[in-house]
Amino acid sequence: MPELPEVETIKNELAPWVVGQSFTRVTILDDKLVCGGSAQKVRRGLVEQKIESLERRGKYLIFHLSNGGSLLIHLRMTGSLLLDPKEVDRYARAVFHLSNGHRFVFNDRRRLGVMWLVDDAETVVCKLGPEPLDRSFTTDVLLQRLSRHHIPIKAVLLDQHIVAGVGNMYADEALFAARVHPLSKADELSTKEVRTLHNCIRRILRAAIDSKGASVDTYVRPGGERGTAHFNFKVAHRGGEPCPICVCPIERCVVQNRGTYFCPRCQPLVPVL
C-alpha cells in the first residue's frame, strides 16, 4: 500500500529516467483510470509534452509538464509504476513511452488507482493537509489540527485533509513509537503526547524512506525491487506477535474500518502516571 515513503521512493527512483524527457506515445488500457476527462484527451494532451519535474504531494505523484499543466497519479492500494518491465501483463492500465526510448507502466491489480491531466495541479491536491516532513509542520500545527477533532487519533492520522501522506501502516507505527493508544481522542492528547507523536511521525516516515518503503503486500519500486521498511515494523501487521518492548502480544482492533495494531501495555488508553 503506497503511503508517503513508498510514493517518495517511486518519485526518487523514477525521476532520473523521466525528468527532461518527452512523452512520445501513451497507451491507456483502462478508461476508468482517468479522472475527469476522457482517456483520449489525456493521451493527446500528453504526447510531445516534456516532463519538467517530478514532485510528491501527500500520496500523489505530480509530473509537471512543459505547457504548465500536470499529470497526477494516485496509486491507491495496489498501483505501481514499473520502469521498462520485461512484459506488459494483464494488470497494466497505461503505458507511457518516453523520448529516451524508455517506458513506464502503470500496473494496478485492484484498479483503484487514478490519474488526472489538469492545467493546475492545485485543483487536485488543494484540500490536502500539511506535508509531515516539511519545516512548516511544527508541533503547534499538529496540536492545533488535533484539537478540532473529538475522534480516535488513528482516524485523524488517516485523514489526508489533516496531515497528508500517513496511511494505515505508518499511523500504527507512529502511535506505537509515541506510546499513544489508537483510540485516544485526538483533542484529549496532552501537549507532551502531541510533541512526542509529532517527532515519531517524522522519524518513522524518514526511516521508511531510507528503507525505500515497505513491501507488506504488492508494493514494488520502479525497478521491481521491494522495499525493506516492513522489516522494521514493531506492530503493524504483527497481530499476536510479542511486543518488542514488553513481550505482551500485539493486539488488533478495527478503527474506522481499518485493521489497527497496537501493544495494550505500551499504549494504554488511560496513561500510566
Partner DNA sequence: CTTGGGACCTGGCTGC
Partner DNA sequence: TGCAGCCAGGTCCCAA
Question: Which residue, 94 or 98, has its beta carbon nearer to DNA?
Answer: 94
- For the question of residue 154 being annotated catalytic, the response is no
In one-letter notation, the amino acid at residue 68 is: G
C-alpha cell at 38: 476522457
Catalytic residue among 258, 264, 265, 271: 258
Smallest distance, Å, CB 148 to DNA? 5
Question: Which residue, 136 or 257, has its beta carbon nearer to DNA?
Answer: 257
Smallest distance, Å, CB 184 to DNA? 13
- For the question of residue 59 being annotated catalytic, the response is yes
Reduce the secondary structure of the chain to three states and give it as a string: CCCHHHHHHHHHHHHHHHCCCEEEEEEECCHHHECCCCHHHHHHHHECCEEEEEEEECCEEEEEECCCCEEEEECCCCEEEEECCCCCCCCEEEEEEECCCCEEEEEECCCCCEEEEECCCHHHHCCCCCCCCCCCCCHHHHHHHHCCCCCEHHHHHHCCCCCCCCCHHHHHHHHHHCCCCCCCEHHHCCHHHHHHHHHHHHHHHHHHHHCCCCCCCCCCCCCCCCCCHHHHCCCCCCCCCECCCCCCECEEEEECCEEEEECCCCCCCCCCC
Question: Which residue, 50 or 237, has its beta carbon nearer to DNA?
Answer: 237
Question: Which residue, 54 or 98, has its beta carbon nearer to DNA?
Answer: 54
Catalytic residue among 2, 85, 132, 152: 2
Smallest distance, Å, CB 74 to DNA? 6
In one-letter notation, the amino acid at residue 26 is: V
Question: Which residue, 25 or 127, has its beta carbon nearer to DNA?
Answer: 127
Smallest distance, Å, CB 58 to DNA? 6
Q: Say if residues 23 and 94 touch (Cβ distance below 8 Å).
A: no
- For the question of residue 2 being annotated catalytic, the response is yes
Catalytic residue among 11, 56, 57, 59: 59
Q: Say if residues 22 and 38 touch (Cβ distance below 8 Å).
A: no
Residues at the contact surface with DNA, assessed by CB under 7 A: 1, 3, 32, 58-60, 74, 76-77, 109-112, 127, 148-151, 155, 158, 160, 167-169, 237, 254, 256-259
Smallest distance, Å, CB 197 to DNA? 17
Smallest distance, Å, CB 100 to DNA? 30
- For the question of residue 3 being annotated catalytic, the response is yes
CA distance 10 to 225: 11
Neighbours of 248 (CB within 10 A): 12
Question: Which residue, 86 or 90, has its beta carbon nearer to DNA?
Answer: 90
- Residues designated as active site: 2-3, 59, 258
